[in-house]
Amino acid sequence: MNMMYESKLSARRWIAYDLPGNVGWIVWIVCLILLLTQGVTWFSLLALIPAFFMLVGVIELVSERIQKLDWVLPKARLYRGFGSLTLGGLLGIPVAAAGLIAAQGSICWRMLAGACLCALFAWLIFREYHPRKQESDKA
């Protein structure tokens, strides 16, 4: 049996978490594209790792939205969506910090901000999901 997770997060709070989280991963991806247009470096290659997890999460969340699964998700989809976004943001923080230490430019500050937003707000939604009571559990 596939464990289902449910969120009781209000629509207003969901939007308050969702918008800055979306800004975060978008900032990361835009900055990465800008870096790659300037040439491939160790930093731009390293920055692909958080971007991968962020994109996996975004693709999963779009798929969930299409299937109208926003509030009730199987465990695998929850982790693939909000879990991947949270992980991507968390990985982005030390990657951006490494870029700052290696003086890769001011773009690293934007990437750090984007990673922090992505990690924080994806996690805030992720933590609101709890195992859903099964019909047999309610009796």
pLDDT for position 137: 52
Residue 46 has pLDDT above 70, yes or no: yes
Cα R_g (the chain), whole angstroms: 17
Domain limits of the chain? Answer: 11-129
DSSP character for 78? H
Q: What is the pLDDT of residue 75?
A: 94
Q: What is the pTM of this model?
A: 0.91
Q: How far is CA 43 from CA 18, 55, 116, in A?
A: 28, 18, 18
Diameter of the chain by CA atoms? 62
pLDDT tens profile 106-117: 899 999 999 999
Instruction: For residues 75 and 10, give the distance between their C-alpha atoms in angstroms, rounded to a whole number.
Output: 20
